[in-house]
Amino acid sequence: MVRFGEVTLPASKSESNRALMIAAYGGFAPDYQNISDSNDTQILMESLRGLAPMSFLFGDVGERESMGGNPRVINIADCGTAARFLTTYLACHEGDWVLTGTDRMKQRPMTPLVDALCVLGADIQYVEKDGCLPLHIKGKPLQGGKASIDMTQSSQFASSLILAAPMWSQGLELELAGDLNSLPYLDMTVAMLSCFSAQAERQGRKVIVKPQPYQKQYFMVEPDWTAASYWYEMAAFSEECEIQLKGLRGPSTFRQAQDSGTASLQGDAIIAEWMSQLGVGTFVGDDAVVLRKIPFEKRPLTFDFSQHPDLYPTLAATCIGLGFEATFTGLDNLTLKESDRVEAMRQELSKLDHRPIRFCAHNDHRVVMALAPLSLLFGPVGFDHPEVVEKSYPNYWDDAPFLMP
C-alpha cells in the first residue's frame, strides 16, 4: 500500500487551553490564530465565556440568570484540563461556585491541586467524594507565595497554579514533589508564560514565577503533535509513503529546528524519534514535517510513557501491528485518563484475531484514533462510538476516510 498526501492537523489543545487561560487572567481579548476546535477547548472557552467578568473576552452570552444566593454550577463534562485550570481560576476570583463534571470526571484526582490552593489561602470544599469533583469554591483574591504540589498523578496541577501566578502580588515559588510525570507539559506552560511577557523559570524541582502580569500578544497555536502520532502509525503500516503534516514545527531534538528557533513546545514531538525505530523517518521542511519510510532493524524496543502518556495507545497499536516485541514502562497514570488506557488497549487489541473486528471506544478519543489505523493491516474495523474523536481531533475521519469501514 502507498500513502501520499498533505494533512492539516488539528491545533494543539494543550497550547490552546493555556493561551485561553492566559487571556482570562490577563484580562485581554485573545489575539490568537489556529485555536483548537476540539471539544475540550470549546468546553473551556464556553466556561470562561459564562464567567462574569470574563464575558467581554469571549463574547457576551446575554443576561445571566440570578442564582438567588446559591453557588453557580459550572459543568466541564469530561474535560480534565478545564477541571484543573478552572479550579485555580475560580479560587482566586470573587464568586461562589460549584465545579462539576461527568461521572468519570468525578473519579479523577484533584487532591494535590486543592491542597496546594488551600495552603495559598483558597476556600475549597469537596461536595461528594473527598479528592474529586464536585468542588464548592468560594473565590477570593489570592496573593501567591510558597507552595508544594505532588506531580505524580498529573502535571496539570502545577500548570494550573503557574498560569495564575503572574497575576498574584507575591508571585509563586512552587516546589515539585513526587514523581515528575508529564514534565514536558509543565515546561510548555512555563515557556508560554514568557510569550506573554510574564517571567517564569523551572529550576529542577522548583518553579519560580515573578509577579509580573501578562501583556497581550499575538500567538499562533501550533498543530498538535499527539494527533500527528496517528499519521506516524499509518506511515509505519504502509509499504511506501510521503505524508506532509502542514504547519508542524520540528521536534526540538532536530538541530535545524533548534537553530531556526522553530522547535515545537510540545513534548509529544518525541514521536519522531520513537517512530524512527519503527521505520518512519521525519524530514523537516519550510512549512511541513514530512514522513517517509526508512530502513530499520526489527529488535526488542523499550518505551517510557511517564513523560508522554498520550502516546501509549499509538505505540501499543503500532508495535502489535508490526509484530514488534516492546517493553512499556511509566504506565501508572494511564488508569486516570478518559479510560483505563492500559486495560482498554489490552481488551481491544485482543480482538484482532476475530472477524469482523468491532472495537469498543471506551469513551476515549485516543484509544479510537490509535486503533483505527490497524484497518490498514487487518481489514475493516468498526467502533461503537466513533464520534469520541471530537474531544481532540474533530476532523479525524474526514482526514482519513480510508480508515472507516
Alpha carbons 145 and 278: distance in angstroms, whole number: 47
More confident: 56 or 92 = 92
CATH 1.10.10.10 at 2-7+223-403, yes or no: no
Q: Give the mean model confidence (pLDDT) for residues 135-144.
A: 98
The top-scoring range by mean pLDDT among 55-59, 61-65, 70-74 is 70-74
Would you list the domain boundaries of the chain?
A: 2-7+223-403, 66-220
CATH superfamily membership of 66-220: Enolpyruvate transferase domain (3.65.10.10)
Active-site position among 310, 384, 398, 399: 310
Q: Do domains 2-7+223-403 and 66-220 have the same CATH topology?
A: yes
Q: What proportion of the chain, given as a percentage, has pLDDT over 70? A: 93
46: exposed, middle or buried (Cβ count in 10 Å: 0-12, 13-18, 19+): middle
Which residues fall within 8 angstroms of residue 230, CB to CB, at 6 or more apart? 314, 369, 370, 372, 373, 393, 396, 400
pLDDT category at 249 given cuts 50, 70, 90 is: confident
Question: pLDDT tens for residues 342-400?
Answer: 999 999 999 999 999 999 999 999 999 999 999 999 999 999 999 999 999 999 999 99
C-alpha cell at 107: 473519579
Nearest in space to 46 (alpha carbons), one of 16, 10, 74: 74
Per-residue pLDDT, 131: 97
**Taking the model in full, what pTM does it have?**
0.93
Query: 260: which residues sit within 8 A by CB, 6+ positions away?
Result: none
Does residue 268 have an active-site annotation? no
Mean pLDDT to the nearest integer, 211-234: 97
Average pLDDT across the chain, whole number? 92
